[in-house]
Structure 1
Amino acid sequence: MNKQIAGYINEHLDEILERWTIKMEDEKDDRFFQIMSEKVIDNTVREFGELVVFSLTESEEVYRVKLNDFSVKIVRYGWSVTFVLKALTNFTHVLYDKMNEDGYLNEQNIISYTEIMTNWITPLTHSIVEAYSNVWDRTVHLQKMALQELSASLIPMFDKISVMPLVGTIDTERAKLIMENLLHGVVKHRAEVVLLDITGVPVVDTMVAHHIIQAADAVRLVGAKCMLVGIRPEIAQTIVALGINLNDFTTTSTMQRGVEKALALTNRAIVEVKDK
């Protein structure tokens, strides 16, 4: 019976996918069909239809390979779990309506076909969501590792002056890594002034400010001074609105001004050399 359903889907795949695409375009909470090119949409829709057929006709090993490849693709496209579930539900409805229109379903077989489709779509849903979740978790983990590696290094700029550029959201785990690298770098480079550059931090809330203040206090304990640079106007407004106390900080809006103040703290200055 599964092969009969698979055969029917294959025979009418183009029309089924066309109807399914129209139905999915009406889902207003996902922008996949609005922002992707027609070629990408057509290819993805075709792969989705083939995946459904594979679940009925191919071996578990072949199906799993196809399923994993498709899951990687839809994670990259930003499909949410909700959108994936709606896609499966809508495909089932379109298939049922099409079979009913063609007279494929009748009083004699509708109960058995409905039972078969239910028993087929439930494990299919579970397997797709499981594969999607695994790929998504792996992607998030890799992105998190990459972000940690990119945004927590103390870089010597001048003698006694170092800078740490911070990029992305700062959570408790990242704050711990930043603190460790910061203290290790201050001792290693014998820094007297450290510039914390928050230009790449999208949001500074109470928690982020708390982590930054802790980092500054720790730097002072090892004999250096911490400066906060890269404070954009919107960040300044947020800090004021939240009542965050940064009075113990030297703060500047740009790295350039921060470097000038850091040089002054170490009894140096940038001077213009005139041609003789």
Structure 2
Amino acid sequence: MEPTAAERAIEYYRRRLDELVLESCERVRAADLPFYRALPLPVMQASVKRVFEAVAADLESDAPQAYPAILSALGVQRASMGVSVTEITAGMHFGFEVVSEAFAVDFAADPDPILFWERKRGRIAYAGVAALADAYLVAREKLIRTQADEILALSTQVLPLYPGVLVCPLIGHLDHERAQAMTTAVLAAVVRHRSRVVVFDLSGVPLVDAGMASHLVGAARAVGLLGARPLLVGLGPGVAQAIVAVGLDLGQIPTLGDLAGGLAHALAVLGKTIVDA
């Protein structure tokens, strides 16, 4: 029985797979894409061959599965490396282009295998791009969340300044989420270190709004409920004006000009003094 167009196309693709891989790699290198530029040729060839083998598997199936699966895995991997989707899809385009050109030449007098390939190519490529985009987006969102958590952790550090004294340096804007994280970290540190004084250093906060001022005072009062003394140091004009503008009562919360003054005040609370050597 005469082989069908599908059988002829699949046999041809598999027989020439290694040649098509090499040609695709040459085109990718010629395009000088940033990510692929740094890849050693054997590594690139091995990666491209896995993709071509996935396409071969999907040529024989009713619905694309192998190619979308490998593109999904690549999306996660490349997202973590900072490679753009454009670079990934450009590499895919070169691969499909090489195969289509080979079919056009070798089946010039037999168009049915060409039609089979192009129909399959469209479905496989679409499914692959969709899987790549979904995986890439999820991976990037996860990376951004991780980085945001790391930044939040770094921006809510509570440091022992002296036995019984903690300092909480604030930098940038104090929104609701960060205020909650800071308050939780400070209260936990007060209990853990049995601290009697907490110095909130605002020298890295040039401007505040009413919400931030309220969060700040709330954190200071929460410290007081645990029996520790809160101090505010490094208040710039913008911070002071915001506190006054919203009518917040600092009550028994001392405010000092800088960290050195805050430390001296904290030591005085502990019954200590700084003596010049």
1:23 aligns with 2:31: yes
Label 1:185 to 1:226 Cα distance change in 2 as closer, same or farther (>3 A).
Answer: farther
Deviations 1:226-256 (A, max 9, x none): 2359xxxxxxxxx9xxxx812367565xxxx
Q: Which has the larger radius of gyration?
A: 2
> Which residue of the partner structure matches residue 54 of structure 1?
54
How many pairs does the alignment contain? 239
Aligned to 1:28: none
Equivalent positions of 1:89-238 (< 5 A) are 89-100=93-104, 102-104=105-107, 108-109=111-112, 110-165=114-169, 172-185=176-189, 189-195=195-201, 198=204, 213-222=213-222, 223=224, 224-228=230-234
User: Which of 32, 35, 41 lines up with 2:35 in the alignment?
Assistant: 32
| C-alpha contact (below 8 Å) 2:68/2:128 kept by paired residues | no
Change over 3 Å in CA distance of 1:69–1:111 after alignment to 2:
closer
TM-score of the two chains, using structure 2 as the length reference: 0.64
Aligned letter for 2:31? K
Does 1:75 find its partner at 2:79? yes
Counterpart AA for 1:12? L
Q: CA deviation at 1:170?
A: 6.8
Counterpart residue type for residue 126 of structure 2: T
Offset, 1:221: 2.9
- For residues 28-71 of structure 1, the C-alpha deviation after alignment (integer angstroms, 9 at most, x for no partner) is xxx5356xx343x7625641442242243289997677556533
Distance 1:197 1:214, change over 3 A: same
Tell me, yes or no, if the aligned pair for 1:55 and 1:124 is still in contact at 8 Å. no
Percent sequence identity is 18
Q: Secondary structure, in 3 states, of the residue corresponding to 1:163?
A: strand
Distance 1:216 1:126, change over 3 A: same
**Secondary structure of 1:12's match?**
helix
More displaced stretch, 111-120 vs 189-198: 189-198
Describe the shift of the 1:167–1:130 C-alpha distance in structure 2 as closer, same or farther (beyond 3 A).
farther
CA distance in 2, matches of 1:168, 1:55: 50
Give the drift of 1:118.
0.7
| Corresponding position: 1:87 with 2:91 | yes
Query: For residue 10 of structure 1, what is the aligned residue in structure 2?
Result: 18
Residues 117, 62 of structure 1: alpha-carbon distance in 2 compared, 3 angstrom cutoff:
closer
Aligned to 1:247, the other structure's residue is in SS state: helix
Q: Is the Cα–Cα contact under 8 Å of residues 219 and 226 in structure 1 kept in the other structure?
A: no
Amino acid at match of 1:108: P
Distance 1:262 1:70, change over 3 A: same
C-alpha separation in 2, matches of 1:48 and 1:251: 63
Q: Does residue 245 of the first structure (1) align with residue 238 of the second (2)? A: yes
- Distance apart, 1:263 and its partner CA: 1.8
Q: Counterparts of 2:239 and 2:189 in 1: how far apart (Å)?
A: 23
1:19 Cα deviation after fit: 0.4
Instruction: State TM-score, norm by structure 1.
Output: 0.64
When structure 1 is superposed on structure 2, of 175-184 and 57-66 the one drifting more is: 57-66
C-alpha contact (below 8 Å) 2:156/2:182 kept by paired residues:
yes
**Partner deviation per Cα, 1:66-94 (whole Å, 9 max, x = no partner):** 55653343123202334333433343334
Task: Output the amino acid matched with 1:262.
Answer: G
Worse-matched range after superposition: 54-63 or 186-195:
54-63
Give the RMSD, CA atoms, in angstroms.
4.2
Contact 2:28 2:36 in 1 (8 A): no
Structure 1 pair 129/49, CA: closer, same or farther in 2 (3 Å)?
farther
